[in-house]
A = this chain, B = another copy of it.
């Protein structure tokens, strides 16, 4: 059992991951700028399952409480949200689920990030943490709905031990396999896959995921 803090955890992605991690036996702390908003998200998840260990907090308290800290803010928010949390997450594994995506004329496109990827930007904003990129390609709707997902989570990091830890965390979600995606810089390509899936979801009216075929 690990305590997992969520930064900006009141959106679908944060709530969906907290739901699944809590179901797998972890303690989840949903952080938000607004404690009321965090409490609302927790109340919603408790309606699904009152036994889940999910609590509400400010982002600062979620960052302090988490042994692992998961960033589920929108891309546009992380430059403001993360720097004040740098001290609280120093020495910890921080998970970037963020996708730098914009919607224009109904089309999703990948934003160019000066650091290469949202995950690398996160690492630059939180220099004392060990950033691991993961979970970007999971459908938030499917996470929240419950039931097995049919998807791989490609995990990218420069620290082998932190990467392994998050691959194991991913594999705790029913139907999910953690795949070693190499260095943190590879997060750029994994973030891009989400943009592609958004387009595929629209064409096929589904919530698609990816599988890496041909690995044991």
Report which A residues bind B (CB closer than 8 A).
Answer: 107, 109-110, 112, 139, 150-151, 154, 179-183, 185-186, 188-190, 192-193, 195-197, 199-200, 202-204, 206-216
For residue A186, which residues in chain B have a CB less than 8 angstroms away from its CB? Answer: 195-196, 199
> Which single member of B112, B189, B203, B214 contacts A180 (CB below 8 Å)?
B203
For residue A196, which residues in chain B have a CB less than 8 angstroms away from its CB? Answer: 154, 181-182, 186, 189-190, 193
> Which single member of B185, B192, B208, B216 contacts A188 (CB below 8 Å)?
B192
For residue A110, which residues in chain B have a CB less than 8 angstroms away from its CB? Answer: 188-189
A181: min CB distance to chain B, Å: 6
A163: min CB distance to chain B, Å: 10
For residue A208, which residues in chain B have a CB less than 8 angstroms away from its CB? Answer: 212-215
A102: min CB distance to chain B, Å: 12
| Interface of A (DSSP majority class) | mixed
How long is the Cα–Cα vector from A209 to B213 in the complex, in angstroms?
Answer: 5
Copy number in the complex reads 2
Of A151, A183, A190, A204, the most chain B CB neighbours within 10 A belong to A204
How long is the Cα–Cα vector from A173 to B84 in the complex, in angstroms?
Answer: 53
Query: 7 more A-B contacts (CB under 8 A) besides A110-B189, A186-B199, A189-B195?
Result: A107-B182, A109-B185, A154-B200, A180-B204, A193-B193, A206-B214, A209-B213
Sample of 27 A–B contacts (CB below 8 Å) = A107-B183, A109-B185, A110-B189, A150-B214, A154-B196, A154-B200, A179-B200, A180-B200, A180-B203, A180-B204, A182-B203, A186-B195, A186-B196, A188-B192, A189-B189, A189-B192, A190-B196, A197-B212, A204-B215, A204-B216, A207-B214, A208-B212, A208-B213, A209-B213, A210-B210, A210-B211, A210-B212
For residue A215, which residues in chain B have a CB less than 8 angstroms away from its CB? Answer: 200, 204, 206, 208
For residue A139, which residues in chain B have a CB less than 8 angstroms away from its CB? Answer: 214
How long is the Cα–Cα vector from A192 to B213 in the complex, in angstroms?
Answer: 16
For residue A214, which residues in chain B have a CB less than 8 angstroms away from its CB? Answer: 139, 150-151, 206-209
